[in-house]
Chains A and B, each alone.
Chain A
Amino acid sequence: MPELKPILLVEDNPKDIELTLAALEQSQLANEVVVVRDGAEALDFLYRRGEHASRNTSDPAVVLLDLKLPKVDGLEVLEKVKADAILRHTPVVMLTSSREESDVVRSYELGVNAFVVKPVGFREFFDAIQDLGVFWAILNEPPPRNGGQ
């Protein structure tokens, strides 16, 4: 069994972090969940630099990316990831508070893998997070990477 890749959760709101973690916990995924609090840190993690220069985890199975983030916002992170020859294979799921059309359009233009509006209802929220986690962490076979790690 291959090493389980972590799930990267990029979210600045502690309450959303807690609720998201609770939802993922319920799905009983074995994947580690790495939480970073802003877009800049997300990029540091992905590029193994700064605080995350010496991380020994694999690249994430999926990035759950909030749209509104301090420093570097979600769309910018998405743009960088999808423009990078290696990172662009990493699935990115955009999580957002609203169904604002321009955000959806822009995200798909940038190559987002899924776009999820966080439902107000907790049960729906749980279901959505669990589905995402399960789909991207377990079911989805990522394309082979040129680097061959």
Chain B
Amino acid sequence: MNAGTTMPDLDLTACEQELIHIPGSIQPHGFLLSIRLPDTAVIHASANAASILGLEPDAVLGRTLMEVLPELAADLDADLRDMNPKGGSHYLRTVALDRSTGRRSFDVAVHRSGGYAVLELEEVNGAAASLDALNPNLRQFVEQLGGTSTTESLCRLAAADVRRLTGFDRVLVYRFDENWNGTVIAEDRNENLPSYLDLRFPASDIPAQARELYRRNRLRIIPNADYIPVPIQSHDPAPLDLSDSLLRSVSPVHLEYMRNMGTMASMSISILRDGELWGLISCHSKEPRRVPLQVRNACDFLTQIFSLQLEARENTALAEKRIRLRSVQARLLGYMAAEEFFIDGLVNHPAELMHLVGAEGVAIVSGDFCWILGQTPSEQHIRKLAAWLSQHHPEDLFATDALSALYPDARDYIDRASGLLSISISKVRASYVIWFRPEVVQTVKWGGDPSKSVRAEAGAPRLHPRRSFEIWKETVLGRSLPWDVSEIEAAGELRNAAVGIVLRRAEELAALSDELRRSNKELEAFSYSVSHDLRAPFRHIVGYSELLKKHEGSTLSERGLRYVDTIIESALTAGTLVDNLLSFSQMGRTTLKPRLFDASQMVREVKHSLAMEIGDRKVRWNIADLPAATADPLLIRLVFENLMSNAVKYTRPRDEARIDVGSYRKNGEIVFFVRDNGVGFDMTYVDKLFGVFQRLHRMEDFEGTGIGLANVRRIVERHGGRTWAEGAIDKGATFSFSLPDIEGAA
């Protein structure tokens, strides 16, 4: 998609339908024979062959090569044996033909086409440029290659050398973009033709099937755009495939294009990278111009060296960048691995996160979490964008340099986010890291208005190329600098690493919960045996002491009796501790049976159950309307019992005790609290309050085993809630606990 550029809607695909590989004719600067193998009968011949060969027009087709071209026939077997059937056309040798018309020299090239060997002969004018003569030129080029440092200077060097070898007026290095538009990135010329440097040409100038031919057949030449095609004659109705031909006649549209450009001769050489068309070396001349086959071969050779150099340069540059990004990536991985939540590792090192892909802004979205930094759309826009990504681009990695062309909402922030690169870290939680690049307004100089015109000619509409190649400027909006391969790779690798960390965390968690289950089981067995085996001795102490008192009480002194009573009391306390310990352990193990319950009703009931404990003390209760909540009512009842009976207990020194029970909703929780005006506690020890067997008061002041609040915490935490307390010595205390607000959230 050519996002920001506004191309006129005109169907230019007509060119793409032309069957250019079977034109049925050749250009007139040579002649063509196809011979059937192995009997060497001539099956196709260009119409000019007979006269050049000094034969009658009907004395070519059907004859053997020995009859029509004995100069070549003698060694043909050996020549064909060496031929690579897929290798395209190659130069065979130069032959001299002595005919009645005189002695003429021809360069011979041969290639395979179906069951035929196709011979193409081009006349050599004057002193033939032998390969030996071209060698110094090539050597000089190769030597100069070492001195070039950039792609641009390499391209300039190639353009200059091709022009020196061929004598064309203008040589361009033309590079395709991903949409097959071409841009002239280097040029060498004289004053005969205007400069095309930096101009862009639309993809339709070189249609798809032409590009495919260019890939197969690396060098094309048209010595004269005004040429009159020479038909290929044959008794065989099937057309000869000229894909690999050097003399192949070109499309009339192309010739018109050349004339419109003011160039009468042209040559182009394909620049291939990894077998794909990367660009062209495109040569033009104002006047007709022939370039001998040998020189063309030298140009092809030069271009191949140039392609390899180019590839090496770009690979080196890419490799260097990859190494740089790798080290950034390694640091980010370290940060991620060190954090409990790997996202924190990214959030805490934003500079490196942006540097990884060369972005100006970054956002991390995960569920409700949204973090943004640098030049980005607003958080609200990013949330919408993440939703769009998860719907339309479920792929792991997505990159565009023209977001607004795909996602119209992005027009509101093209200045910050024309480029987007995103990785999806978790599909379940819809988690993304999204990088942004700002818009870079570009001016593209098109080589003429990039549209061809359809002119009615003799009643039949025919496609014509544009007539003017005047620069036609266009401003491209809504585009960022493109993300390059190394940046996209770096993002992809960061994603793999993040996913790896997530997986490893999940495994660790699973292992941990196995371990927990095992240790819980052990604890269960432990507390079971403690409660059984420890209880019995206490029971015995109490039992025998009682028996002692009963049977021997009369002989014991008063002090002795007090000792026995103390023994009994201590053993009873120890027994209670054991019972509490067991109930605490059970609290952690029993299955929760949550349901909706009425907290107001529950608190009223608990209040009544405390009546005996209160006795004739004065207690002023202030119980607010409490909401219904979802939890295990039996266990939550224990929580209220604990907190309210504590409040009753610790207000004992007050003439009038005041106990408030209330609640509020906050951040998705229902919070219940019990506040009293009792003896309070020192906040220094607040952390100890909820511990098992932790007491902040002396036993003679306030009785208790110190298990109550530990039970409270355990019950509340098992419901996914929290417990906390506030207080000050002699200023009362407030104990609070929260439960997830399931009703409020619904």
Which residues does A use to contact B, with CB under 8 Å? Answer: 13, 15-16, 19, 22, 68, 96-101, 118-123, 125-126
Question: How far, in whole Å, are A29 and B208 apart by their CA atoms in the complex?
Answer: 113
New A-B pairs, 7, CB < 8 Å, besides A19-B539, A100-B528: A15-B543, A16-B539, A22-B543, A97-B533, A118-B536, A120-B571, A122-B545
Closest beta carbon of chain A to B504's beta carbon, Å: 37
Write out the residue numbers on chain A whose beta carbons fall within 8 Å of the beta carbon of B543. 15, 19, 22, 122, 125
- Residues of A within 8 Å of B533, CB to CB, are 97
Stretch in contact with the other chain, from B13-21, B265-273, B574-582: B574-582
Partner of B582, one of A22, A98, A121: A98
In whole angstroms, what is the CA distance A120 to B159 when docked?
105
Cross-chain contact A97 with B540 (CB below 8 angstroms): no
Closest-CB distance, A39 to chain B (whole angstroms): 16
CB distance from B703 to the nearest CB of A (A): 16
B153 at the interface (CB under 8 A from A): no
Which of the listed residues A100, A101, A126 has the most CB atoms from chain B within 10 Å of its own CB? A100
Given A119-B539, A120-B535, verify A98-B528 contact (CB < 8 Å): yes
* Most central of A16, A99, A122 by chain B CB within 10 Å: A122
**Between-chain CB contacts (< 8 Å), 12 pairs:** A16-B539, A22-B543, A97-B531, A97-B532, A98-B532, A98-B535, A120-B542, A120-B571, A120-B576, A122-B539, A122-B543, A122-B545
Query: In residues 489-544 of chain B, which contact A (Cβ within 8 Å)?
Result: 528, 531-533, 535-536, 538-540, 542-544
**Which residues in window 601-652 of B have CB below 8 A to A?**
none
Which of B544, B575, B582, B583 makes the CB contact (< 8 A) with A120? B575
B574 contact set on A, CB distance < 8 A: 120
Interface size class of B (residues with CB under 8 A): 20 to 34
Say if the beta carbon of B590 comes within 8 Å of chain A.
yes
* Residues of chain B from 530 to 571 with CB closer than 8 A to chain A in the complex: 531-533, 535-536, 538-540, 542-547, 568, 571
In the complex, residue of chain A having the shortest beta-carbon distance to the beta carbon of B538: A120
Minimum CB–CB distance for B693 against chain A, Å? 18
Is there a chain A Cβ closer than 8 Å to B572's Cβ?
Answer: yes
A101 to B524, CA, bound (A): 12
- Per-residue interface assignment for chain B, residues 584 to 608, with 1 indicating a CB less than 8 Å from any chain A CB and 0 otherwise: 0010001000000000000000000
Contacts of A68 in B (CB 8 A): 532
Q: Kindly list chain A residues whose C-beta atoms are within 8 Å of the C-beta of B542.
A: 120-122, 125
Bound form: Cα–Cα A64–B572 in Å: 24
Q: Are B536 and A99 in contact (CB under 8 A)?
A: no
A-B CB proximity, top 6 nearest: A120-B575, A122-B546, A98-B531, A19-B543, A97-B532, A122-B543
Q: Which one, B540, B576, B582, contacts A99 given CB within 8 A? A: B582
- Known contacts A120-B575, A125-B539; is-contact A101 B586 (Cβ 8 Å): yes
Contact: A120 with B572, CB < 8 Å? yes
- Asked if residues A16 and B540 are in contact (CB atoms below 8 Å), the reply is yes
Q: How far is the CA of A15 from the CA of B543 in the complex (A)?
A: 9
Question: Given known contacts A97-B531, A98-B532, A123-B546, is B590 in contact with A19 (CB within 8 Å)?
Answer: no
A121→B572 contact, CB < 8 A: yes
Chain B residue with the shortest CB-CB distance to A68 = B532
CA distance A46 to B544 in the complex (A): 31
- Specify the chain A residue showing the minimal Cβ separation from B574: A120
Taking the nearest CB of chain A, how far is it from the CB of B184, in angstroms?
A: 86
Give the distance in Å from the alpha carbon of A101 to the alpha carbon of B587 in the complex. Answer: 11
Contacts of B546 in A (CB 8 A): 122-123, 126
Cα(A19)–Cα(B542), bound, Å: 10
Instruction: Count chain A CB atoms within 10 A of each CB in B536, B576, B590 and give the residue with the most.
Output: B536
CB closest chain-A residue, reference B576: A120
> In the complex, which residues of chain A have a beta carbon less than 8 angstroms from the beta carbon of B545?
122
Compute how far the CA of A96 lies from the CA of B531 in the bound complex, rounded to whole angstroms: 11
Measured between beta carbons, the chain B residues less than 8 angstroms from A19 are: 539-540, 543-544, 547
> A128 to nearest B CB, angstroms?
12
Q: Give, as a whole number of angstroms, the nearest-CB distance from B29 to chain A.
A: 103
